[in-house]
Structure 1
Amino acid sequence: MTRLSKDDFIVVDPGKHEVKGMVFSKTGTVKGVFSYPSKSKKVRGFNNNETSSSKQFRLEMSNKKYLVGEGVPAEYNADITKTNDHHKLCVYASVASVVGNKDELVNLVIGSPTNDFELEENVERYKNLIRGKSDGQVEMSLNGDDKSFVINSLSVFPEGMAVLPRAMKKSPSKVHVVDIGGQNVNYRLYDDKGNTINYFSLDYAGMNKLEQKLKTELRFAMTSHAFDIESIDWNRAITDGKVVEIEDLMDEDDENVMSGYDNTEEFVMENVESFIEEEILTPLVQKGVYLQQKGHSILFTGGGSLRLENYLKEVLSNNLDNMEVSQTAKWDNCISYAMRYLSSVEKDKSAVTKAVVKIIKATKEPDFEENYNFLEAEEAIIG
């Protein structure tokens, strides 16, 4: 990648399930996007760790070695906060993967869970962790290449703002925004002028907990002890509404290897819907938010919303006219941070509007991720 210009900025959404990021120019040009699983592990060395994935990083800093990203043999980070070393590693790996030279000045924009963002001291603690040294200098080795950058500016914004899909609504109205992430569900209520009325996070209500629930329930339901549950791709299972690996096993044995369910579609549907009811809708009711009642519009965002779209429509079937799932849900946090950052550094409102129009056009392209993906480009940045 060519050297970043002084006005370019890198946005990192260090999720609990997936890390997403985008690189922007000040005029709103999208220079690239990237995403990879939010996993990290400290290792003694890299010799025994083979990979062909462009989404796995071998990171070395302060005489310590880490694997970050795809194929890392680790569980997802279970902290409710992002002020920890795991997310610091994810942010650093992300930035290092898109800077092309040493000592580049980086304008960095990141997100924080709503509950963490509420107190200024929490935000400052988060910033201090990411800055590292007081001068913002970061040095490391990434995939065998020496990398260094200087955090010139650091901005933090709350998760779940969904600025773009709210702005695209034809008729402004009060709206419940529900951001389903890896570990948390962020809730925000906006009035018809775009003012925040209410906000909070539900801890341990995201996709990682759903995956654990499905694993636990399947262990009770499986009648065959010869099957390794850890071999299941749960992201695919939730999206497809069935467990392909077990379906294949049932075809081979010509018998039901599950107790209490006719097929895996019934298993997935029942357990995902009960999770939504018990871990999202009921806790929201306890906080005075009633998504099953008509009135406010409901906007689901976050990568988890895309995978849960069909289940949400079933659970909220009596309120379908009021709900929608953002079509840019995976990237909404990144786009929101970018739009808020541009508004903070550019005082010319017309320039901000033009930049936002560029961002909207880019994200509406049918092959958006393929066209802008750094990590899967023909000439991969990280080699």
Structure 2
Amino acid sequence: MVLMVSMFTQKPLDFAAFPAVLLFTTLLRLSLNVASTRVVLMEGHQGGASAGKVIEAFGAFLVGGNFAVGLVVFLILVIINFMVITKGAGRIAEVGARFTLDAMPGKQMAIDADLNAGLIGEEDAKKRRAEVAQEADFFGSMDGASKFVRGDAIAGLVIMVVNIIGGLLIGMLQHDMSFGAAGQTYMLLAIGDGLVAQIPALVISTAAGVTVSRVSTDTDEDIGQQMLSQLFVNPQVLILAAIVMGLLGMVPGMPNLVFLLFTALLAGLAWFIMRQKEQLLVKEEIATAPVPLQETPEASWEDVQLVDTLGLEVGHRLIPLVDSRQKASCLGALRACVRSLPKKWVSCRRWCIFAIIWSCRLTPMCSP
């Protein structure tokens, strides 16, 4: 669970309790080692099942009941945990703590500058200052907590040696066992006990390495999302990997089916990613394509909306000239006269209308 939490957190501060969790898990595992050592030394002469089913399973099933093979496997796990994972995680935590402490004044000055410029408020400034302080405390704690993991690996090796030596002495001196029988019994139990302790120690060391080696991104992705988005994003890389796997699969004596299967998987994944990119490019081209201009019809006087309404008051005798219900032709003639005006007279259109109406007033009423 600790390993899964460390993998799915998006920032190191999301698992700020990890140094304390590391301490407690180390102490609990060492307490189990002490209890299992007591059981092995007191009840080991009765057989493999006397020390518990877990130790018997690790000693008999995983190493096949051969203590020499079990010893080699145990030493390999100790070397991996002690020399590779723990040492690397401790170095990353040390460098991270040093760089974080060196960068604290600059970060504080940047926060003060943003606050003075009005880019952030007082509450945001307090929150950022608290995050800077927590980040420094976290990496400082991880620098010290990584020593727990390192000491745990050394303690596991020491406990196994003590179990072997103590088991041989107790078996030969107290239970009158021969050297071969005592070695076969107690060494198998001691190695099983050591393997039981080293596997969770390896998991916790991996969790520590994942936590301190995390690089935060702007998108706030966890470790799994970062690996998927950065490893399987380039189809050319997948195609080259598929070619290499295919060449290895054609070597005589190699497991050809397995290599060719992985070649097909990598090639299929590369093809799928290329199709996804092509579809994305097509969507972007469609989204950014210019909209074609539609042909607009030629504007006419009917399309023009008058801003101000022109009112005309006529006398009683002139009503038949402007009343549409009496089939008056004056309005049509008026529109025709306005349309036929020269362009330079358009600006004085209102005065022209008045002139036309005044001329119509002077015409005799009997004209058609």
Identify the TM-score tier after normalising by the shorter chain: under 0.3
Higher strand proportion? 1
TM-score by length of 2: 0.23
Structure showing greater Rg: 2
TM-score by length of 1: 0.22
